[in-house]
A and B are shown apart, each in its own frame.
Chain A
Amino acid sequence: MSPGSRRAGSCGEQSDPVAHIILYTACLAAAAWQLRRVPRLWAFLLLFVALMPKVAVAGVSGNPTPIRIDDLVVGAALAAWFFRRRVEPPASSATFFLVLYWGTAAVATLVGMAAMTTEPLTGVLHAGRLLEYGLLYFLFYSEIAPEDLGAFVEVIATSLILLFAIWFGQHWTHAPAIELAPGESASPWTTLYPTFSASYDFGGFVMLSTVVLYAVWSRGADRGAWTTAALAAGAWLTINSESRVSLLSLAVVVAIDIVLRARWWAAAAAAAIAAAVTPLLMRSAKMRRLVTGVVAIATTFQLGVVRQVIAGDPSLALRARNWRLAVEHWAARPFLGDGLGGYLSYTRQYDLPGSTDGWYLRVLADTGAAGLVAFLLLAGALLWLLARHVRRETDPLRRAIVYAAALAVTAASVSALLVDTFVSYKIMGVFWTIVACGTRVAADTQS
């Protein structure tokens, strides 16, 4: 019996909390087993990011984002890392660019506070979050040594399989009470995002984890049953995550990989297979709208069609409205922008203060041209550094991890077109882990 038919049979019933607790406890036990195999701080953090839902502990006046349990846990982990003695790893080439971006964002925010374009408390909180997520890079960089790469892949695979288990199980345990008309089929499998706050961070997290496993698997570094199962689970979750930009990002990196490494006829065959199976795999109207829109734009190349696709899609129309406002704010303060958090005063999501939902425009509006240039330098430097080192590595796993990191930077950069990828704690939790592993391997090879 499929979960869909099970849901149809249980329509009108409330979700089953006991079954959900059992499911979640089983996943926690599996995570504990994984931690026993890899008893490391970074492994705990990776599993924590994947499995711990966002739980608020304190609201902050004037800010829609509260302080959460994960802030406290990440803060404690950073403190432990900050005070722990260890042999210093080789210097990271990314440090200069990270510090440049942080510094520009901090200066823009301080100037914005003085110019009254961002609230001091809001600015401080946003700068703090940016620093918190960025420091994770240094934590992972110094904690995950090149000899830990096998364990790193295993933990990523475990986190994906556990997420898949929760997502799969939630179709029984968390089915909402829905009234179905006679003969109507149950809702598709696309409305749940276990332990995440919305489809964007669920999609982003599983997409980046899948990119790592894809690189490792396709490079032949690890084709074990666990990795293969996790790769399949990750691909399935990304397709059904309801996050269209995550699916698009995964498709872009897979396309780049195929074009770079396979023959053209193989690339064409892969594209044909992907086009053929897409309608079978996509069960949600939202995800199908993405395909329809992309196909319409790609086959006409007309500005009018682009406008129609945006206007006909509530999610894109909302973004377009906020982007207009962001550009207006940037035009008023082109060099340093409004300061971090300034967007909260003008963007709206469904009549509530929200996000610009487009990272580059948000950076432009908040930190001006200086901030955007600093960010593009950071992303470009990471990509250049990693892509350059792929060829130098001879060990299959090390090479696959550096390649995975380069693909992850590409995927996150594509995803950032429509989502605020680089300030999402869940997405950044896995992103900085992958990038830290890649740059650490590159630095070790260089030294």
Chain B
Amino acid sequence: MPATRPSSPAERCLRAIRKHVLPLAGIPAIGAAIAAAITATQPTLYRSQALLSVKPPPEIVAAAIRTKRPYLGPDGHIYDANDPERQTGPGRYAPRLAAPGLVAAAARDAGILSGDAALDDVKAADWVTAERIEGADLIRLTVWQPDADAAQKLATAIVARGLEINRREEAAMPEPELRRNMLVVDAPTRPSAPAYPRWPVNICVGLALGVLAASTYVAWVEAGR
């Protein structure tokens, strides 16, 4: 049996690349072209973002800091940052801002949705997301619309409705310690360029998928030899 000449994995890879240079260059190029074609069919969307703060009244925070006393969470128990089940103010309000009912009402306020048009939960989730920012008492509101003006208008209407709900609900709280006041930290932005589709990311993804496909093809051909 002839002795096999020792070689490194790097040398074997280089040999395979030299031998199959055409598929290794062509398939990724095709992948990038397909990605570009798919991206071109995607709808253009603009994104407006706003930052909202939800925290206890300043005098409660000041007293808690001065006396080093723990303060109550919105559920009436002592607030514990290590307990994931204990909802913070942002954790309580973020889902309300993205709720389909509120989004539909705000869309009517902004003139995006006509009076009798309905908005299902899937569409509402496509239009609006609200996430709490950990450890910062903040909510990041993100609104997607086909034009910049509509995105900003819808975000502004959601913020206005959110502030109104917050004012009404927190006024009914029996203890000041339990109140969480919503404030606008950063008003809804007016986007200057579309944020979707993301051309560079999609082309890179197409290219990478092409590289994967080409590598699989080469490995399969080499294994068959």
Decide if B201 touches A113 in the complex (CB within 8 Å): yes
Decide if A114 touches B205 in the complex (CB within 8 Å): yes
Decide if A81 touches B84 in the complex (CB within 8 Å): no
Among the listed B4, B9, B202, B209, which residue makes an inter-chain contact with A81, where contact means beta carbons less than 8 Å apart? Answer: B9
Q: Does A163 contact B (CB under 8 A)?
A: no
* Alpha-carbon distance between A88 and B7 when the two chains are bound, in angstroms: 7
Closest to B131 in A: A345
Q: Which residues of B contact A116 (CB under 8 A)?
A: 196, 198
- Knowing A351-B82, A351-B135, say if A82 contacts B9 (CB, 8 Å): yes
Q: Does B163 contact A (CB under 8 A)?
A: no
* Alpha-carbon distance between A36 and B73 when the two chains are bound, in angstroms: 60
* Alpha-carbon distance between A82 and B204 when the two chains are bound, in angstroms: 26
Q: Which residues of A contact B201 (CB under 8 A)?
A: 113-114, 120
Q: Does A18 contact B (CB under 8 A)?
A: no
0 or 1 for each of B3-24: is its CB under 8 Å from A? (1 = yes): 0101111111000000000000
Q: List residues of B (40-61) whose CB comes within 8 Å of A's CBs.
A: none
Give chain A's interface secondary structure class. helix
Among the listed B7, B84, B134, which residue makes an inter-chain contact with A85, where contact means beta carbons less than 8 Å apart? Answer: B7
* Alpha-carbon distance between A120 and B212 when the two chains are bound, in angstroms: 17
- Knowing A82-B8, A99-B219, A353-B134, say if A110 contacts B82 (CB, 8 Å): no
Q: Which residues of A contact B10 (CB under 8 A)?
A: 82-83
Among the listed A87, A88, A120, A350, which residue makes an inter-chain contact with B82, where contact means beta carbons less than 8 Å apart? Answer: A350
* Alpha-carbon distance between A81 and B134 when the two chains are bound, in angstroms: 42
0 or 1 for each of B192-203: is its CB under 8 Å from A? (1 = yes): 000010100110
Among the listed B134, B205, B219, which residue makes an inter-chain contact with A110, where contact means beta carbons less than 8 Å apart? Answer: B205
Interface size on B, residues (CB 8 A): 27
- Knowing A107-B212, A351-B84, A351-B134, say if A85 contacts B205 (CB, 8 Å): no
Pairs A–B under 8 Å by Cβ, sample size 28: A82-B8, A82-B10, A83-B9, A87-B4, A87-B6, A88-B6, A99-B219, A103-B216, A107-B212, A110-B205, A110-B208, A111-B205, A113-B201, A114-B201, A114-B202, A114-B205, A120-B201, A120-B204, A317-B85, A348-B84, A349-B84, A350-B81, A350-B84, A351-B81, A351-B83, A351-B84, A351-B135, A352-B134
How big is the A interface, by class?
Answer: 20 to 34
Q: How far is the CB of B202 from chain A (nearest CB, A)?
A: 5
A: which residues have CB within 8 A of B? 81-88, 99, 103, 106-107, 110-111, 113-114, 116, 120, 138, 317-318, 321, 348-353
Q: Which residues of A contact B4 (CB under 8 A)?
A: 87-88
* Alpha-carbon distance between A85 and B157 when the two chains are bound, in angstroms: 67
Q: How far is the CB of B29 from chain A (nearest CB, A)?
A: 16
Closest 7 CB pairs of A and B: A85-B6, A350-B82, A114-B205, A110-B205, A85-B8, A83-B10, A82-B10
* Alpha-carbon distance between A82 and B212 when the two chains are bound, in angstroms: 20
Q: Which residues of B contact A138 (CB under 8 A)?
A: 9
* Alpha-carbon distance between A249 and B60 when the two chains are bound, in angstroms: 49
* Alpha-carbon distance between A201 and B10 when the two chains are bound, in angstroms: 32
Q: How far is the CB of A141 from chain B (nearest CB, A)?
A: 11
* Alpha-carbon distance between A82 and B11 when the two chains are bound, in angstroms: 9
Q: Which residues of A contact B204 (CB under 8 A)?
A: 120
Q: How far is the CB of B32 from chain A (nearest CB, A)?
A: 12
Q: List residues of B (172-200) whose CB comes within 8 Å of A's CBs.
A: 196, 198
Q: Which residues of B contact A349 (CB under 8 A)?
A: 84
Q: Which residues of B contact A110 (CB under 8 A)?
A: 205, 208-209, 212
Q: Which residues of A contact B208 (CB under 8 A)?
A: 106, 110
Q: Which residues of B contact A85 (CB under 8 A)?
A: 6-8, 11
Decide if B8 touches A83 in the complex (CB within 8 Å): yes
Q: How far is the CB of B171 from chain A (nearest CB, A)?
A: 28
Among the listed B6, B8, B209, B219, which residue makes an inter-chain contact with A107, where contact means beta carbons less than 8 Å apart? Answer: B209
* Alpha-carbon distance between A86 and B11 when the two chains are bound, in angstroms: 11
Question: Given contacts A82-B8, A350-B81, A350-B84, could you give 16 more A-B pairs where the C-beta distance is less than 8 Å?
Answer: A85-B6, A85-B7, A86-B6, A86-B7, A99-B216, A103-B212, A110-B208, A110-B209, A113-B201, A114-B202, A318-B84, A321-B84, A321-B85, A348-B84, A351-B83, A351-B84
